[in-house]
Amino acid sequence: MLIAQLSDPHLRPKGVLYHGIVDSNAMFAAAIEHLNGLSPQPDLVLVSGDIVDEGAPAEYEFARELLSAIRQPLLVIPGNHDEREAFRRSFADFDTTSRSGPLHFAAGDFGPVRILGVDVTVPGLHHGDFDDDAAAWLEQQLAAAPGRPTIVMMHQPPFACGIPYVDEYWCRNGERLAALIARFPNVERIACGHVHRFMQLRFGGTLLCTAPSTTTAIALRFQADAEPASYLEPPAFLLHHWKEDAGLVTHLVPIGRFPGPFDFA
């Protein structure tokens, strides 16, 4: 089973640039074009939050237009730049979209790997929170299928990555999540977005990774007094490959056209 994970496109209304500088819309369209050129094609596509930048209806309208080019089943969760109710209205036709409250979902009909989307966003704020309700929901879902390989998808990652202006907005109560995940060895991966960079670490007895943004990359600055900054680094997405004999292997896929192929490896 192949599962593509795109993240943080920060889409704007048609013709509007992200921060007045970057054409995030065109970059997301290029990501989808690259995705559609993969062979074999993914079985499922995830988008791990910040689908739009300001939560405006015009942004979601254009987001649906762009997302319509994705050929596979699509699963989405909101990020801190999404507006929960506008997001809910925009994706109301998705079977996984709840009618009220956080936008958690459980999806197990697309192949051997089950996807649990946990909405840890806090409306109006940029940090996440794995609160009591999220913990109760996730525990119930994990207990319902303890032998099924599972990806838990959320937007804000629950760890301090060392970039000071990113760590202000992590997901709180990460220790509660780690303790819960540790009880379920069938969780193959925790897949996050938010930080606009690829990162990977052990967490709760499994692996946690973050997807890069399809638009700008947040600067990799570890100094305590570092100023927030971003770069137009090569964008990318993740491809999670499930094989019965190997488990889940995660690949970083740069977006674009590159010299090659050459006849050596």
Residue pLDDT, tens place only, 10-22: 999 999 999 999 9
Q: Is the pLDDT of residue 260 over 80?
A: yes
The verdict on residue 169 lying in a domain is yes
What is the chain's mean pLDDT, rounded? 96
Region 21-41: mean pLDDT is 98
| Domain span holding position 130 | 2-254
Give tens-digit pLDDT for 117-138.
999 999 999 999 999 999 999 9
Please state the φ and ψ torsions of residue 49, each to the nearest 5 degrees: 100, 170
At residue 38 the predicted structure's pLDDT band, cuts being 50, 70 and 90, is very high
Give the whole-angstrom CA distance, residue 193 versus residue 75.
14
At residue 2 the predicted structure's pLDDT band, cuts being 50, 70 and 90, is very high
- Residue 32, SS3? helix
The verdict on residue 263 lying in a domain is no
Give tens-digit pLDDT for 59-86.
999 999 999 999 999 999 999 999 999 9
The verdict on residue 112 lying in a domain is yes
Give me the pLDDT at residue 97, please.
Answer: 77
Q: Is the pLDDT of residue 196 over 80?
A: yes
The verdict on residue 264 lying in a domain is no
Q: Is the bond into 261 cis (omega within 30 degrees of 0)?
A: yes
The verdict on residue 150 lying in a domain is yes
25 with 64: CB under 8 angstroms?
Answer: no
The verdict on residue 261 lying in a domain is no
The verdict on residue 262 lying in a domain is no
Residue 183's alpha-carbon distances to 18, 89, 179, 180, in angstroms, are 41, 35, 7, 6
Give the whole-angstrom CA distance, residue 168 versus residue 79.
15
Residue 43's alpha-carbon distances to 2, 99, 165, 193, 263, in angstroms, are 5, 26, 35, 20, 29
Q: Is the pLDDT of residue 100 over 90?
A: no
Give me the pLDDT at residue 127, please.
Answer: 97
Give the whole-angstrom CA distance, residue 85 versus residue 83.
6
Q: Is the bond into 13 cis (omega within 30 degrees of 0)?
A: no
Within the chain, what is the greatest distance between any pair of CA atoms? 55
Closest by Cα among 20, 75, 13 to 43: 75
The verdict on residue 260 lying in a domain is no
Q: In terms of C-beta density within 10 A (0-12 exposed, 13-18 middle, 19 or more buried), how is residue 29 classed? A: middle
Give the whole-angstrom CA distance, residue 191 versus residue 75.
13
Q: Is the pLDDT of residue 98 over 90?
A: no
64 with 47: CB under 8 angstroms?
Answer: no
Give me the pLDDT at residue 99, please.
Answer: 76
Domain count, the chain: 1
Q: In terms of C-beta density within 10 A (0-12 exposed, 13-18 middle, 19 or more buried), how is residue 245 classed? A: exposed
Give tens-digit pLDDT for 238-253.
999 999 999 999 999 9
212 with 191: CB under 8 angstroms?
Answer: no
At residue 263 the predicted structure's pLDDT band, cuts being 50, 70 and 90, is very high
CATH (domain of 125): 3.60.21.10
